[in-house]
Structure 1
Amino acid sequence: MGILLAIENLSIAVGKKSTGEPLVKNVSLQLEEGKTYGIVGESGSGKSLTSLSILNLLADKLTITEGQIQFADKGNLLSLKKNQLQKIRGKEISMIFQEPMTALDPMYTIHYQLFEVLKFHKKLSKQQMYEQVINMLNAVGISRPEKVLKNYPHELSGGMRQRIMIAMALLCNPKLLIADEPTTALDVTIQAQILELMKKLKQQYQSTILLITHDLGVIAESCDDVAVMYAGQIVEIGSVEEIFDQPKHPYTQGLLKAVNSIGNEAQELYAIPGNVPTQDEFNEGCRFASRCPLVIESCHNNVPHLTRITQSHTVRCWAVEQEGVSYET
């Protein structure tokens, strides 16, 4: 399978002429067709900013200062005109947002909002649109879809609204589905149902998924490959097996140690010391240096390179680089 989406050296800053360190710095990712790619990290790590930049949905105060986003045969998405990008949004690349109550318009029925997607992207009769919407609502596990179409978003439960969002995102059978924290606002039982549903629909519609989350359990259950982000930088990339079985970056190791200590009565609950730095606190070196147990002098003054551990496993860490082969800055 080929590369569907390639993010190359993406940097995002506040303001059009920002002179400080960017919020997101030199992020590079490659998504293979048919796979689920996860991005994991604490709140404020730049996960959502990275995903929103793909469809140019960043807030006005944020600017992409560097990089390219190559998608299928469309070229660099960042160089497309507004009307060209609108034709891709919802049709070839769709997004499931973190909170469906804010993503769905409270002023319109579910019927209106689902039909709008098809009206904009496809030339279908009303009957064809109705049949396609009903079939999709059935596919996402909504019973009595004819009745649900008449409802407004506030009349549905959180789990139902999320299913509606998934149905809306898949209506045009997109090549890429971006899911930004799709289970955060849901209880554990509904979370499991939504994740299982996404797996099933991915196979059925042969979509590629970019899954944004802070939950390592979701990553372990749903993803093929994963990138670990910290303070706006990629610090480790690898297959799920490599990241969970042989984590190399101290931050990744800390995340896994914290998760493994939960529910273990014989072990004290672990937390990574310190806090994620703000933009004003970014130094010239590794952004994890102030919290890292392996910190050395180079960490404060120089940004570590991405170091290849295996063909698919790379790490941004001076301690690891001394043992590996640097291939990218």
Structure 2
Amino acid sequence: MKFRNFKMVDYVVYGRGSFDQLDEILAPRRKGDAPVIFFVDHYFEGKALVNRIPLRGKDKVIFVDVTYEPKTSYVDKLAAELKSEFGTVSGIIAIGGGSAMDLGKAVSLMMTNPGSSADYQGWDLVKLPGVYKAGIPTLSGTGAEVSRTTVLTGPTRKLGMNSDFTPFDQIVLDPALTANAPVNQRFYTGMDCYIHCIESLEGTYLNEFSKSYGEKALELCQYIFLEKDQWDEECDDKLMMASYAGGMSIAYSQVGVAHAVSYGLSFLLGTKHGIGNCIVMNHLEEYYPAGVEEFKRMVEKNKIDIPVGICKGLTDEQFDSMINVSLGMKPLWENALGKDWEKIMTREKLRALYERL
């Protein structure tokens, strides 16, 4: 048996107020007058957080548009603009939700690798390390801060740049940054973490490494979304650690049916990842009966509306497009259903599932 030699994030700082150490963290990473570029979720434009960013010299803040999940064309555009303006940069710091962090990782890689980011959608296609990159989540749940992938929508598929060069060099986990997250958004990203745990813990790739992290993350999610009656600082602290642990759990195993189906929705309809997972999870009793029942209790307790009927009126061609993207996620299906997954999840069965969403 061959065991995975798993690349982790090099440095992790955790704690309320740790964002204010950023200047000190970046100082040894600066190379001459090459600037540090801060990719900040456009949600924060005009907000106080921006004034706390430690700009030096030619450093630049770029408000990244995360209205839609990152596209390869947007990654290529950002990388080309930075190369044109600065030649090289000392590093890229991503501040925001999962999409902002995915952009930071992808552009870091495209500063040093030739061609288009679409060329690297897949497993272990990236050949060169990117420039220094750090991730600072302002939403908890995606696990993007520890992920070995950066999920991008390309011309023909939605697939990550999965490689040992993709993880951040540094993450800053400051729960105070998540304090004012919109209630629905916070729930959807929190459920991404919960669904990571269900898919990892019930998958065929399960091992004690992923199980240890997955069980802890699941316990934290259950406490936050079922036991707590009011959102407070403790919830922010615990959800940030659940996100980290959930991300570590799937990093050494895989996700499953909800993510594989959700990728099709995102590719065709632009459905955001967290809400897409929730829409799909609502209909997966056949695969995760206990998890779906508990998920529905979390939805009810937190008074969240999960959209229904989003695939109504789609053409055969559109359904085929989603099915092609979804079935392309082979490791996810194998983790969920085993090596014979293609006999279980036929195109017809997947079409019927999409029609119910």
Provide the TM-score with structure 1 as the length reference: 0.27
Select the structure that is richer in strand.
Answer: 1
Q: Which has the higher contact order (CA 8 A, sep 6+)?
A: 1
Choose between structure 1 and 2: higher helix proportion.
2
- TM-score when scaled to structure 2? 0.26
Higher Cα Rg, which structure: 1
